[in-house]
């Protein structure tokens, strides 16, 4: 606990006892500037404790404080909190202005300048300190008359004359700033930005460096990098006052900083001062190890530095600045990595809605896949494909998506669904494709048959209307909006390569297609941790064969259909192995219920009857037969593998033949085969025996040997509890936390979106457990499963491949539990990699302590 600081105030000198934790960031930064020799006017710091005492009525010795600033003090007061992002009261300038100073300054600087200083002070004091109605203090013109009017207005409003004594002015300013900080609204606002409830406010009192005078005078800010790109470039502004107020009004007082064809520049007008500013910028960068924005004044040709703050920056700029500082050996690579918030990388990976532009929101849902996209509304996959064929970007709007929509999703620029949650079909697929997606927009009503989407406020949108979805914020917006493009530039790649070097937990990608695999490679994934093979069967040419297989009455017919699918699957896997060039590829055997491959509409069923040359009634009967009350808990995953073994046998053969094929091209492939939805050891035993037999057959047929590794997906609570038995037949276990969360909570991953918002809002769940791993419940199952598996088979490889694999908190949990790798959507690999690097850096730092 911090001890109470009874010091009333401290002049900031190089050796003064100033700490960020007691005086705030601004005070500490000013001390650093002073230590570096920057020309900072005299400054005094008041600690958090001192300011708190002011708020409760205990003033410091104001005369003693002001005496540090000479006989006629003129000072400013600025806030100095622990973090500039927490906000705080605005600065008050020119405290000490009164009738006498006004007259003296009129002599020294001219009447106009003195009038302006006095009027502006009266106005800001009246509005921000005495908290009077701003309407009465809005006068722009500065002259004797307007000053008199302002003084009169003050007196009328407060029943007392405008305070003339600098001590009284300062006291009131300090009190009002201290109280503003302690107010409930201000506290709630800063807490929302991450400030602790008891965050303190320090204040700095600084001698005014007016930037007014006959020789070149003025005020400005300068920074040395561009806030949007992070590239080295001098930007800022400088307002020259030496030309007088009249010139300023005509815009002549504005000097560009650097040589500029549009007009005069500071560089040309005051080359020495400009060079001095550049030198200070460089010194700040080297010694403060940060890109700073410097606030300065020039008074009669002399430079004063009033303050310096960290340059505001986009995530893209933050990455470039961090990499550039490390490249120049100013900070270490570890520090560069630690300076970037993993989630911030999303801004670089996807287009974003430009925060500076206007947005007209018509709906809000769950931000399921980051990035933004604009396009015409389409209500079905066929329309999405047609739109893509015309080269028109579209947004696929559905009640919810199913595997049948995959082709539509591939064709769309973004996806918006009325139902669903973080791990619903639309969300998972969209993240895999890097497609912006908003799900669970329960407030909108979809009338797909009428081609209408009705927003909560009654606005109606039709097919073809342009909308924008923002998968980062979860908003749906009317029309097209300004966008910021993704920035996968050299700085991003450099940062990622540094993260790979320090990361001590593997990061693989969930990749189903060659395109996914290529993205995974581009982002430096350590392999594929989950290839969901069923997605391969939704391609146009395969769906009919798949349906033939489902409709087969005998094993022989089924095998005949599967024989047609075999070469297609083999080609899929060969391509994946080729792209991954010897990196591990984990292929999950078929998982979904078969009825997902069947048409649901009467029209679709008639088409199928035509294609299969069957009576429509047969098709209807078969579809009805296969439909289940609760398909997610029905005939899917390993249950299909046990009861319809030919499917897994075909897949195993395709994997082995592809292995031989890819190895012939030089890649050392050892495929990993994973069995989904296991709940009992015997299931694994049965499937393993069959796969071993297929491997033996392929080895004999091809006259060549190969290895493979068989693993189990732990996604039922029972599999976690029985991991000790199951692992006897499994070289690796991968926790499928999407289904495991669904089954642990008894919470449908496709329907949870309907009430999740309300549950989180009412504190039933701290977070959406499909988004952030529930470490207390699901996490305990992970630990139990991992522990039991390791006891029985110490060399077992453990991983997580549910959507949580890309989430920083879940990665920390898995790393602590000693997992070997996490696997997530390809577009989340960079974020996961950086989060993992942060954990490794923090652990190394802890060890070094
Ligand atoms: C899971 O359940 O966590 C998983 C990765 O599989 P899927 O999302 O395909 O059910
Ligand atoms: Mg699953």
Residue 214 has pLDDT above 80, yes or no: no
Q: Which regions of 143-200 does DSSP assign to beta strands (E)?
A: none
**Closest listed ligand to the CA of 403:** 1
pLDDT 10s digits, 816-832 = 999 999 999 998 999 99
Residue among 636, 677, 713 to mutate when testing ligand 1 (max atoms within 8 A of CB): 713
Give the confidence band of 255 by pLDDT, cuts at 50, 70, 90: low
Query: From residue 360, how far is each of 474, 475, 626, 669, 842 by CA, in Å?
Result: 13, 10, 45, 51, 42
Percent of the chain residues past pLDDT 70, beyond the cut: 97
Which residue's CA lies nearest to atom 6 of ligand 1? Answer: 736
**Closest listed ligand to the CA of 738:** 1
Note whether 173 and 77 are within 8 A (CB): yes
Residue 130: both structure tokens together: 């005495």
Which residue's CA lies nearest to atom 1 of ligand 1? Answer: 736
Summary mean pLDDT of the chain: 91
Residue 515: both structure tokens together: 């395109």
**Closest listed ligand to the CA of 735:** 1
Sheet holding 302-310, edge to edge: 254-255, 232-240, 218-225, 292-299, 302-310
Listed range (491-495, 648-652, 759-763) with the worst mean pLDDT? 759-763
- 831 C-alpha vs ligand 2 centroid, how far in Å? 22
- 633 C-alpha vs ligand 1 centroid, how far in Å? 13
- 796 C-alpha vs ligand 1 centroid, how far in Å? 20
CA distance 486 to 346: 9
How much is the pLDDT for 336? 98
Contacts of 356 by beta carbon, 8 Å cutoff, 6+ apart: 482
CA distance 266 to 273: 8
Mean local confidence (pLDDT), 336-355:
89
- 677 C-alpha vs ligand 2 centroid, how far in Å? 7
Residue among 739, 744, 800, 805 to mutate when testing ligand 1 (max atoms within 8 A of CB): 739
Mean local confidence (pLDDT), 426-454:
87
Query: From residue 467, how far is each of 360, 413, 438 by CA, in Å?
Result: 10, 11, 13
- Show which residues are catalytic: 425, 801
Note whether 359 and 475 are within 8 A (CB): yes
How much is the pLDDT for 384? 92
CB atoms within 10 A of CB 567: 11
- 294 C-alpha vs ligand 2 centroid, how far in Å? 53
How much is the pLDDT for 534? 85
Which residue's CA lies nearest to atom 10 of ligand 1? Answer: 739
CB atoms within 10 A of CB 791: 12
How much is the pLDDT for 4? 65
Which residue's CA lies nearest to atom 3 of ligand 1? Answer: 736
How much is the pLDDT for 603? 85
- 573 C-alpha vs ligand 2 centroid, how far in Å? 21
468: left (phi over 0), alpha (psi -120 to 50) or beta: beta
pLDDT 10s digits, 784-820 = 999 999 999 999 999 999 989 998 999 999 999 999 9
How much is the pLDDT for 87? 80
Pairing label, strands 821-824, 506-510: parallel
pLDDT 10s digits, 712-754 = 999 999 999 999 999 999 999 999 999 999 999 999 988 887 8
Residue ranges around ligand 1 (CB below 6 Å): 428, 530, 532, 591, 715, 736-739, 801-802
Residue 173 has pLDDT above 60, yes or no: yes
How much is the pLDDT for 241? 75
How much is the pLDDT for 343? 87
Residue 765 has pLDDT above 80, yes or no: yes
Ligand 1 atom closest to the CA of 736, numbered from 1: 3
How much is the pLDDT for 242? 59
Mean local confidence (pLDDT), 304-315:
92
pLDDT 10s digits, 514-556 = 988 998 999 999 999 999 998 788 777 788 888 889 888 888 9
Q: Which regions of 331-439 does DSSP assign to beta strands (E)?
A: 352-353, 361-364, 366-369, 372-378, 394-398, 414-417, 437-439
**Closest listed ligand to the CA of 428:** 1
Mean local confidence (pLDDT), 108-118:
89
pLDDT 10s digits, 395-423 = 999 998 887 788 889 889 999 999 988 88
pLDDT 10s digits, 774-783 = 999 999 999 9
How much is the pLDDT for 2? 54
Q: What is the 8-class DSSP label of residue 505?
A: S
SS3 per-residue string spanning 4-56: CCCCCCEECCCCCCCCHHHHCHHHHHHHHHHHCCCCCCCEEEECHHHHHHHHC
Give the range with max mean pLDDT: 206-215, 249-258, 297-306: 297-306
Backbone angles phi, psi at 292, to 5 degrees: -110, 155
Percent of the chain residues past pLDDT 90, beyond the cut: 64
Report the DSSP beta bridge partners of residue 718: none
* Sequence-separated contacts (24+) of 103-112 with Cβ below 8 Å: 104/72, 109/210, 109/212, 109/213, 112/142, 112/244, 112/245
Mean local confidence (pLDDT), 73-83:
95
- 510 C-alpha vs ligand 1 centroid, how far in Å? 10
- 665 C-alpha vs ligand 2 centroid, how far in Å? 33
Give the confidence band of 598 by pLDDT, cuts at 50, 70, 90: confident
Ligand 1 atom closest to the CA of 423, numbered from 1: 8
How much is the pLDDT for 254? 61
Residue among 406, 426, 590, 736 to mutate when testing ligand 1 (max atoms within 8 A of CB): 736
Q: Which regions of 485-553 does DSSP assign to beta strands (E)?
A: 506-510, 528-532
Ligand 1 atom closest to the CA of 676, numbered from 1: 6
Residue 121 has pLDDT above 90, yes or no: yes
- 739 C-alpha vs ligand 1 centroid, how far in Å? 6
Residue 756: both structure tokens together: 């999740």
How much is the pLDDT for 627? 86
Listed range (19-23, 69-73, 265-269) with the worst mean pLDDT? 265-269
CA distance 649 to 691: 6
Name which of 305, 247, 251, 245 is nearest 280 in CA terms.
305
Where b means 16+ CB within 10 Å and e means fewer, 424-441 reads bbbbbbbbbbbbbbbbbb
How much is the pLDDT for 253? 56
Give the confidence band of 356 by pLDDT, cuts at 50, 70, 90: confident
Give the confidence band of 297 by pLDDT, cuts at 50, 70, 90: very high
Residue among 530, 802, 805, 823 to mutate when testing ligand 1 (max atoms within 8 A of CB): 802
């Amino acid at each position: 606990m911090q001890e109470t600081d009874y010091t009333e105030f401290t002049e900031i000198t190089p050796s003064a006892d100033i700490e960020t934790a007691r005086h705030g960031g601004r005070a500490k930064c000013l001390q650093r500037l002073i230590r570096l020799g920057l020309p900072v006017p005299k400054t005094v710091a008041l600690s958090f404790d001192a300011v708190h005492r002011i708020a409760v009525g205990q003033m410091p010795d104001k005369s003693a404080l002001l005496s540090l600033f000479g006989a006629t003090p003129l000072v400013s007061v600025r806030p100095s909190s622990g973090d500039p992002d927490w906000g705080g009261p605005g600065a008050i300038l020119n405290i000490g202005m009164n009738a006498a100073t006004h007259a003296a300054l009129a002599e020294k600087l001219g009447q106009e300048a003195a009038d302006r200083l006095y009027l502006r002070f009266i106005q800001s004091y009246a509005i921000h300190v005495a908290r009077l109605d701003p309407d009465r203090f809005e006068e722009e013109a500065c002259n004797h008359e307007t000053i008199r009017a302002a003084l009169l207005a003050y007196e009328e409003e407060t029943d007392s004359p405008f305070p003339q004594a600098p001590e009284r002015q300062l006291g009131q300013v300090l009190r009002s700033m201290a109280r503003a900080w302690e107010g409930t609204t201000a506290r709630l606002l800063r807490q929302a930005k991450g400030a602790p409830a008891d965050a303190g406010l320090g204040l700095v009192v600084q001698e005014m460096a007016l930037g007014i005078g006959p020789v070149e005078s003025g005020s400005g800010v300068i920074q040395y990098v561009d806030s949007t790109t992070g590239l080295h470039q001098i930007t800022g502004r400088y307002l020259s006052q030496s030309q007088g107020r009249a010139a300023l009004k005509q815009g002549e007082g504005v000097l560009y900083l650097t040589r500029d064809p549009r007009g005069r520049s500071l560089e040309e007008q005051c080359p020495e001062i400009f060079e001095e500013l550049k030198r200070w910028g460089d010194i700040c960068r080297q010694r403060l190890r940060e890109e700073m924005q410097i606030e300065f004044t020039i008074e009669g040709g002399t430079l004063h530095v009033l303050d310096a703050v960290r340059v505001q920056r986009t995530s893209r700029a933050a990455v470039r600045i961090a990499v550039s500082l490390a490249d120049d050996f100013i900070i270490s690579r570890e520090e560069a990595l630690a300076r970037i918030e993993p989630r911030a990388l999303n801004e670089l990976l996807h287009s974003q809605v430009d925060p500076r532009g206007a947005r007209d929101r018509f709906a809000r849902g769950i931000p399921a896949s980051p990035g933004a996209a604009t396009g015409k509304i389409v209500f079905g996959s066929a329309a999405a494909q047609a739109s893509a064929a015309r080269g028109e970007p579209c947004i696929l709007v559905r009640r919810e998506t199913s595997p049948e929509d995959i082709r539509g999703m591939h064709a769309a620029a973004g996806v918006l669904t009325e139902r669903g949650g973080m791990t619903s079909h639309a969300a998972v697929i969209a993240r895999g494709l890097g497609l912006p997606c908003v799900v669970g927009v329960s407030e909108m009503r979809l009338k797909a048959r009428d081609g209408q989407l009705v927003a909560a406020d009654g606005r109606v949108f039709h097919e073809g209307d342009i909308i924008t979805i923002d998968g980062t914020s979860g908003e749906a917006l009317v029309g097209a909006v300004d966008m910021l493009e993704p920035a996968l530039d050299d700085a991003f790649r450099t940062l990622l390569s540094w993260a790979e070097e320090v990361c001590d937990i593997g990061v693989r990608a969930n990749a189903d297609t060659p395109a996914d695999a290529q993205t995974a490679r581009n982002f430096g994934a350590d392999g594929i941790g989950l290839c969901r093979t069923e997605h391969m069967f939704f391609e146009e040419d395969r769906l009919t064969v798949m349906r033939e297989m489902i409709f087969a009455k005998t094993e022989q017919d089924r095998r005949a259909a599967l024989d047609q699918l075999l070469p297609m699957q083999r080609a899929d896997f060969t391509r994946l192995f080729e792209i991954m060039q010897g990196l591990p590829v984990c292929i999950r055997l078929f998982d979904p219920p078969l009825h997902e491959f069947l048409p649901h509409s009467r029209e679709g069923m008639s088409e199928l009857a035509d294609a299969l040359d069957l009576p429509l009634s047969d098709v209807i009967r078969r579809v009805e037969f296969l439909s289940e009350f609760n398909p997610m808990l029905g005939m899917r995953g390993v249950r299909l593998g046990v009861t319809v073994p030919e499917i897994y046998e075909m897949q195993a053969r395709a994997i082995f033949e592809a292995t031989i094929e890819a190895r012939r091209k030089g890649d050392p492939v050892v495929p990993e085969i994973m069995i989904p939805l296991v709940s009992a050891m015997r299931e694994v035993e049965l499937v393993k025996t069959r796969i071993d037999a297929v491997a033996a057959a392929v080895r004999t047929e091809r006259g060549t040997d190969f290895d493979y590794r068989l693993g189990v997906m732990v996604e039922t609570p029972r599999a976690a509890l029985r991991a000790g038995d199951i692992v006897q037949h499994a070289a690796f276990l991968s926790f499928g936390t999407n289904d495991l969360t669904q089954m642990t909570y008894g919470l449908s991953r496709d329907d949870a979106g309907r009430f999740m918002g309300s549950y989180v809002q009412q504190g039933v769940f701290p977070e959406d457990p499909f988004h952030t791993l529930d470490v207390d419940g699901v996490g305990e199952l992970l630990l139990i499963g991992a522990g039991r598996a390791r006891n029985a088979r110490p060399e077992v490889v453990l991983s997580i491949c549910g959507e949580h694999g890309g989430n920083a908190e879940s990665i920390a949990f898995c790393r602590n539990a000693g997992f070997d790798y996490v696997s997530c959507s390809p577009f989340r690999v960079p974020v996961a990699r950086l989060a993992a690097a942060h954990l490794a850096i923090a652990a190394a730092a802890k060890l070094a302590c």
